[in-house]
C-alpha cells in the first residue's frame, strides 16, 4: 500500500494542482536533456519520478527548484510561475529539496547546518528556530547528534541531516533526489518509514529513485521518463506492466 492518500492529479480532477509543469524543455549544447515535459502533482500526493540514467530526472528537479531555468515551457507552484525565480526564492515559497550528492556544511555542527537552513526557509528570522530545529532532528532520529560535526557523520547520517534541513524550512513540496541511494538496507527501511510518516501528515513528495521496490511501496503514482521525455504515468502496478517501461530500463540502453 502506498504511503500517501492522494495521487498526481488525474484527468478530470477539478482541484488545482500544487505543482504544474507544462511543456518544459531544456537543452545543453544542442542535446535535449528535457523535452516537452508536462505533469501535475496534487496537494498531498506522493509521486515517483523514475527512469534510466540520463532520462532527465535531475534536470527536471533543477528546473523545479530554481537551480536552472527551462528554455521553454513553464513551472507553476501554487498558481504562480516560479521558473524565472532564483533557487533561494523558490525555497522561501515552499519548495524543499535534497540532492543526489548530500549537501551539508561538513565543518559545521548539525545544529549549525539546520540554523542556516532555517534562515533560508519561509520562516527564516522568525522566533522559534530552536524548537523547529529540535523537532526536525527528532523526526529523523538525529537529535542525539545535534552537536556533532556534520562532516564526521556517516553518509547515511548526513542524508538524514540533509532531510532535516529541508523539514526545518516547512516546505509545501519536497523534492527527494535518490533519498536511499548508497545507503544500507536498514537505513533504506528507516528513510522509507520517515517519508511514510511525512505522507501521513499530508506532506507532498516528489521522489526520484532507482530503487523501484522502494518507489512502489511509497508512491501513489509513478511518472516514467526516458530520453528526456515522459514515457508514461500511472500507478506503480500499471507502469511495471508497461512494455515501454521494461524496454526503457532493460533494453536498448
Fold assignment, 1-15+42-67+86-94+172-253: Rossmann fold (3.40.50)
Angle of the 110-120 helix axis to the 129-139 helix axis, nearest 10: 120
> Which region among 120-124, 128-132, 160-164, 169-173 has the lowest average model confidence (pLDDT)?
120-124
Q: Of 166 and 122, which is predicted with more confidence?
A: 166
pLDDT value at 3 more than 70: no
State the average pLDDT over residues 216-245: 93
pLDDT at 15: 76
Domains of the chain, residue spans: 1-15+42-67+86-94+172-253, 106-170
Single out the residue of 95, 93, 115 nearest to residue 104, CA to CA: 115
pLDDT surpasses 70 at 11: no
For residue 224, the surrounding DSSP H or E stretch is strand 221-226
Categorize the per-residue pLDDT at 251 as very low, low, confident or very high, splitting at 50, 70 and 90: low
Residue 66 has a pLDDT of 97
pLDDT reported for residue 27: 97
Rounded distance between C-alpha atoms, residue 113 and residue 109, angstroms: 6
Q: Which residues, in sequence order, are CB contacts of 112 under 8 Å at separation 6+?
A: 105
Evaluate if residue 231 carries a pLDDT over 50.
Answer: yes
Per-residue confidence at 250, pLDDT binned at 50, 70, 90? low
How far from each other are the two terminal CA atoms of the chain, in whole angstroms? 31
- Tell whether the model's pLDDT for residue 197 goes beyond 70: yes
From the number of C-beta atoms within 10 Å of its C-beta (0-12, 13-18, 19+), residue 52 rates as: middle
Mean pLDDT, to the nearest integer, of 23-52?
A: 96
Give me 175's grid cell: 523534492
d(CA 125, CA 131): 13
**pLDDT value at 205 more than 80:** yes
* Whether residue 174 has pLDDT greater than 50: yes
63-84 pLDDT, tens digit each: 999 999 999 999 999 999 999 9
**Which H or E run includes 39?**
strand 31-41
- Cα–Cα distances in angstroms (integers) from residue 189 to residues 154, 193, 213, in the given order: 17, 6, 11
Neighbours of 156 (CB within 10 A): 18
How does residue 241 score in pLDDT terms, banded at 50, 70 and 90?
Answer: confident
Torsion angle in degrees (nearest 10) through CA of 136, 139, 143, 148: -60
Residues in the chain: 253
- Report the relative pairing of strands 173-177 and 95-97 from DSSP bridges: parallel
Question: What confidence score (pLDDT) does residue 10 get?
Answer: 44
| DSSP symbol at 227 | T
Alpha carbons 179 and 159: distance in angstroms, whole number:
7
What b/e sequence results for 27-47 when a residue is b if at least 16 CB atoms lie within 10 Å of its CB, and e otherwise? eeeeebbbbebebbbbbbbbb
Does residue 61 surpass a pLDDT of 70?
yes
Average pLDDT taken over every residue of the chain? 92
The pLDDT tens digits for 95-149 are 999 999 999 999 999 999 999 999 999 888 889 999 999 999 999 999 999 999 9
Amino acid at each position: 500500500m502506498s504511503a500517501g492518500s492522494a495521487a498526481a492529479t488525474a484527468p478530470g480532477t477539478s482541484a488545482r494542482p500544487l505543482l504544474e509543469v507544462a511543456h518544459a524543455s531544456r537543452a545543453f549544447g544542442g542535446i535535449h536533456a528535457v523535452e516537452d515535459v508536462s505533469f501535475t502533482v496534487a496537494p498531498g500526493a506522493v509521486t515517483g519520478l523514475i527512469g534510466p540514467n540520463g532520462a532527465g530526472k535531475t534536470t527536471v528537479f533543477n528546473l523545479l527548484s530554481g537551480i536552472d531555468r527551462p528554455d521553454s515551457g513553464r513551472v507553476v507552484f501554487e498558481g504562480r510561475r516560479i521558473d524565472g525565480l532564483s533557487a533561494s526564492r523558490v525555497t522561501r515559497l515552499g519548495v524543499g529539496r535534497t540532492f543526489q550528492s548530500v549537501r551539508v556544511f561538513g565543518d559545521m555542527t548539525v545544529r549549525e547546518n539546520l540554523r542556516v537552513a532555517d534562515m533560508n526557509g519561509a520562516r527564516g528570522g522568525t522566533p522559534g528556530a530552536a524548537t523547529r530545529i529540535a523537532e526536525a532532528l527528532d523526526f529523523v532520529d538525529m537529535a542525539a547528534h545535534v552537536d556533532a560535526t556534520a562532516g564526521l557523520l556517516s553518509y547515511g547520517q548526513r542524508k538524514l541531516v540533509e532531510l532535516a534541513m529541508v523539514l526545518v524550512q516547512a516546505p509545501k513540496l519536497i523534492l527527494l533526489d535518490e533519498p536511499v541511494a548508497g545507503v544500507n538496507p536498514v537505513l533504506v527501511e528507516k528513510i522509507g518509514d520517515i517519508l511514510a510518516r511525512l505522507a501521513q501528515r499530508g506532506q507532498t513528495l516528489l521522489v526520484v529513485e532507482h530503487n523501484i521496490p522502494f518507489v512502489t511501496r511509497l508512491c501513489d503514482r509513478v511518472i516514467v521518463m526516458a530520453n528526456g521525455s515522459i514515457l508514461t504515468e500511472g500507478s506503480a502496478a500499471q507502469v511495471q506492466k508497461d512494455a515501454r517501461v521494461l524496454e526503457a530500463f532493460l533494453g536498448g540502453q
